[in-house]
Every structure is written in C-alpha cells, then in structure tokens.
Amino acid sequence: MAGRVGNDDEEQRVINRIRANVYREAMEKGAAFINRKWIAQKLHHTERWVTDNWKKDTNTALRDLAMKDRQNYLKKAKIL
C-alpha cells in the first residue's frame, strides 16, 4: 500500500485513521509537539498519508470495515 512502511491491512488502516484524527484534534487544541511529521512517525505512515486521512470521517471507515468483514464471513461460510 502506498504511504505505508511495512505490512498493512484494512483494520489497521481504520485504526490509524482514527488515531490520526485524534492527534490532529489534539494538535488543534494546543499540543504544540504534535505535527504531521510526528503523527506520520507514530503511525508508521508517510506525511502524505496523514494529510490525506486525518480529516476523513471515522464512522464511514468503521462502516466500510464492518461491511467488508461481513462479506468475508459470508464467503467463508459459503453463503455469498
């Protein structure tokens, strides 16, 4: 996956998107030590990934992940 250092999966991307959102909010509230570079290092993503994802809606990401998990479950159960 572009923007990621090391292994990555859908669940981890959602978790990292939520974390990036929380870090951004903390930065906006005055946490001076937090910036894009710091967030990128903490999440093991590029600064570009952070910029692209830190304002995305987390509810949408969680819903998409749940739907994907449901489809995988149905495939494994040979229902879908």
Tens digit of each residue's pLDDT (9 = 90 or more) over 26-66: 999 999 999 999 999 999 999 999 998 888 887 887 787 78
The answer to whether 17 and 53 have CB atoms below 8 angstroms apart is: yes
Residue 73 has pLDDT above 90, yes or no: no
Please choose, from the candidates 58, 76, 62, the residue with its C-alpha nearest in 3D space to the C-alpha of residue 10.
62
Amino acid at 33: F
What pLDDT is stored for residue 1 in this prediction? 46
Q: CA 64, CA 66: separation in Å to the nearest integer?
A: 5
pTM strictly above 0.75: no
